Chain A
Amino acid sequence: MSDEHGEMREQLSAYIDGMLEGEERTRLEAWLDADPAARAELDALRRVDAQFRGLPRVSAPDDFEQRLRARITAPRLWPLLAAAAVLLMVAGVLVPTLVPKPNDEIQVARELPKAEPPHAPAGLEQVFHLEAAPAQEPVATSGLENAAEPARTPDLDAGGPPAASRSLTRETAISSQAEPPPPAPVMAPPAPEPAPAEARDETATHVEALGYLAGRPAPPPIVVDESASADGVAPVLPAPVPRAMPSVSDAPEKVAGNTAPGRAEAGQRRQLGSGRAGRGFGGFADRSEEPPRHEERRVAGRLFRLRDGVWIQRGYGSQPLTRLERGSADLEAVTEAHPDVRDFLTLEPRAVFRAGDGWYSVVPPGSARLESLGYLE
């Protein structure tokens, strides 16, 4: 093949798309007329397109717009939910602190009477030391303010003067308690952390926030840990997210990357006539369902998908299956006739495959037929 023909061969694709004009087109057509191999190649490329155009078009699920609307409207609720959560957290911190305890025996310590709140609740004595604080500086006394600016650890050592000129120390003296209570964690509003610049594009931050309210796991609340700071500024730590664990009963059905329903559910679907029978491998006919998630594996050049605990070779429809138990003589015979089958046996515990002209299922010894368990539809 000359360089010129190699160059023209590269142009065949553009010719198919009608993207060649003028001299280029004339030259290519002359080559096609003169060279049957070139014409055959053009036809082959056209058949490639035709094959792919014959693929069925898939449509978005029927509830696509509904889901989208839910995700779009979700952020309007998000600030309200966040504000409500903050209020609850603040209430949780303040209420135990401010509610009087009538049975406590109180020892009053007044080191700076002028700073004492004029209407301190009975039963609780709080002494505030304002040391060289600017006159116009507000005294932070609520969780909201703590959340708005970096939280500062109270100086619990009443004898030691604070180092910072703008500091607030609080001394709580309750005679019934020898030691001060452990500091309660202060919850900050769950504001999303800014993502690194390279990881964001266009509206990434917005969409990440939306995703949480559209069936995704909620973001972990941000916890301000007062105790872990050396400089008085509390670090912001994400709280651990509890992970849903599969129950023991459904554990055999849970396969990584696969959300296939259990046997009972599969059987129930069949009884209800959900129309999945005959839908074919990897179908998506029932738009009301979540799209199926499949784990796939390629063995000996064939594609298998895991569905309801069974590895099913692509192309399986409703052909009758010859049942083979692992370790059986029948399986051994099939394996001898079709050596590829040996590879398929690595697909555990159950597999459906074609060997020669027939379709087979291989199951653990003593298992019922796949069809009777609702594995296959």
Chain B
Amino acid sequence: MLLSLRAGESAAFDLLVRRYKDRIYNVLYRFLGNHEDALDIAQEAFLRAHAGLRDFDGRSSVYTWLYRIAANLAKNRIRDQGRKGRDRGTSLEALLDAAPGPAQQALASVDTPHRRALREEVNGALEECLALLPAPCRLAFTLRVLDGLAYAEIAEVEACPEGTVKSRLSQARRLLRACLEKHGILQDHV
């Protein structure tokens, strides 16, 4: 496939897109927190991949190379949004200091008619906690837990040592645990 890609065969590129677009999109959506940015960055990542295929040296696998392009674009997007004051307005610490959220109250009375709304609320809390993680931790956690990449692959995507990936994941899980407990959605019965 790599040879076909580097030879500029459009069918090979189409295959690459079909194979990875949903995975890339899902990771970007969870990392960036909205569809608009996820779509924009995913498209741009594939565009850049298409333009740079001939220069791809093949030292990494195609998909980690693709993930790396997408991850860099996504990190730039977050950085730019932070400069424009569009970053998320609540810190993790502020959230942890806040009163228990509605999910905690709702969990006490789970019933069928409200199950869907409850699930949405829990998902919302999960997204909220994820969004409050520092970007490097969020990216590592998303790639590991939501996309199943190995430590070595994440290190390749993030261009950092495996030890850094390990510590980022540890920090991410610790912070997420605290955040979810604050929302009351980490009980055994959930």
List A residues at the B interface (Cβ < 8 Å). Answer: 10-14, 16-17, 19, 44-45, 47-49, 51-53, 55-61, 64-65, 67-68, 71-72, 201-204, 206-207, 210-211, 214, 280-282, 284, 291-294, 298, 301-303, 314-317, 319, 354
A274 to chain B, nearest CB (A): 17
Instruction: Contact check, B39 vs A68: say whether CB atoms are below 8 A apart.
Output: no
Question: Which A residues are CB-close (under 8 A) to B121?
Answer: 314-315
Q: Which residues of A contact B145 (CB under 8 A)?
A: 49, 52-53
Partner of A210, one of B17, B47, B122: B47
A72 and B51 alpha carbons, distance in the complex (Å): 9
Distance, CA A315 to CA B119, complexed state (A)? 8
Q: List 10 tightest A-B contacts by C-beta distance, closest first.
A: A291-B35, A315-B121, A13-B170, A60-B25, A203-B51, A317-B117, A314-B124, A60-B21, A301-B98, A59-B22
Determine whether B173 belongs to the interface, using a CB cutoff of 8 Å to chain A: yes
Q: Give bound CA distance, A19 to B144, whole Å.
A: 12
Closest CB in chain A relative to B27 CB, distance in Å: 10
A79 to chain B, nearest CB (A): 16
**CB of B123 within 8 A of chain A?**
yes
Least CB separation from B100: chain A residue: A301
Number of A-B contacts (CB under 8 A): 154
Q: If the complex has contacts A52-B146, A57-B22, A291-B39, are A206 and B190 also in contact, measured as CB distance less than 8 A?
A: no
- Judge whether A51 and B180 touch: CB under 8 Å: yes
Chain B contact residues, CB within 8 Å of chain A: 14, 17-18, 21-22, 24-26, 29-30, 34-36, 38-39, 42-44, 46-48, 50-52, 69, 72, 89-90, 95, 98-99, 101-102, 114, 116-118, 120-124, 126-128, 130, 141, 144-146, 151, 166-167, 169-170, 172-174, 176-177, 180-181, 185-186, 188, 190
Contact between B120 and A281 (Cβ–Cβ < 8 Å)?
yes
* Contact present for A292 and B35 (CB under 8 Å): yes
Q: Which residue of A lies closest to B175 (CB)?
A: A48
Contact present for B173 and A48 (CB under 8 Å): yes
Asked if B102 contacts A315 (CB within 8 A), the reply is: yes
A201 lies within 8 A of B72 (CB): yes
Residues of B within 8 A of A298 (CB): 89-90
Cβ A319 vs Cβ B117 within 8 A: yes
Which residues of chain A are within 8 angstroms of B25 by Cβ–Cβ distance? 58-60, 64
Would you call B177 and A48 a contact (CB within 8 A)? yes
Known: A52-B126, A314-B124, A315-B124. A202 touches B26 (CB 8 A): no
Contacts of A301 in B (CB 8 A): 95, 98-99, 101
Which residue in chain A gives the minimum CB-CB distance to B42? Answer: A60
Query: For the complex, what is the distance from the CA of A48 to the CA of B171, rounded to whole Å?
Result: 12
Complex contact B120–A207 (CB within 8 A): no
Task: Show 11 residue pairs from A and B whose CB-CB distance is below 8 angstroms, ordered by the A residue.
Answer: A13-B172, A56-B123, A64-B25, A72-B50, A207-B44, A207-B51, A210-B47, A280-B116, A298-B89, A301-B95, A315-B121
Check if A68 sits within 8 Å of B47, measured CB to CB.
yes
| C-alpha gap A59/B21 in the complex (Å) | 8
Residues in A with CB closer than 8 Å to B172 are: 13
**Known interface pairs A14-B169, A56-B123, A280-B120. Does A203 touch B52 (Cβ–Cβ under 8 Å)?**
yes
- The minimal Cβ–Cβ distance linking A192 to chain B, given in whole angstroms, is 14
Minimum C-beta distance from A76 to chain B (A): 13
Task: Let me know if B120 and A314 touch, CB within 8 A.
Answer: yes
Interchain CB contact under 8 A, A47 and B144: no
Docked CA distance A13–B140 (Å) = 12
Give the complex CA separation of A168 and B72 in angstroms.
Answer: 52
Given contacts A203-B52, A317-B120, contact A284 B43 (CB under 8 A): no
Tell me, in angstroms, the Cα distance from A313 to B52 when the chains sit together. 43
Point out the residues of chain A lying under 8 angstroms from B99, CB to CB: 301
From residue A235, how far is it (CB to closest CB) to chain B in Å? 29
- Expressed in whole angstroms, the Cα–Cα distance for A236 and B47 within the complex equals 29
Cα A56 to Cα B25 with chains together (Å)? 13
Kindly report which residue of chain A lies nearest to residue B44, judged by CB atoms: A207
Using CB atoms, name the residue of chain B closest to A313: B102
Whether the pair B102, A55 counts as a contact (CB closer than 8 A) is no
Alpha-carbon distance between A291 and B22 when the two chains are bound, in angstroms: 15
**Bound-complex Cα distance A376 to B127 (A):** 23
- A48 x B26 contact (CB < 8 A): no
A298 to B131, CA, bound (A): 13
How far is it, in angstroms, between the C-alpha of A49 and the C-alpha of B22 when the chains are bound?
Answer: 21
Choose one: B30, B48, B90, B185; the contact of A207 (CB below 8 Å): B48
- Bound CA–CA A19/B151 (angstroms): 8
Contacts A58-B35, A61-B39 given: A202-B52 contact, CB under 8 Å? yes
A19–B26 touching, CB < 8 Å: no
CA gap between A317 and B119 in the complex, in Å: 11
Nearest B-chain residue to A301, judged by Cβ: B98
A residues in contact with B69, CB < 8 Å:
202
Q: A51, B151: Cβ atoms under 8 Å?
A: no
What residue of chain A has the Cβ atom nearest to residue B125's Cβ? A314
Query: Which residues of B sit under 8 angstroms from A49, Cβ to Cβ?
Result: 145, 173
How many Å from the CB of A101 to the closest CB on chain B?
51
Residue of B nearest to A11 (CB): B170
Bound Cα distance A280, B117 (Å): 9
Bound complex: CA of A60 vs CA of B151, how far in Å? 25
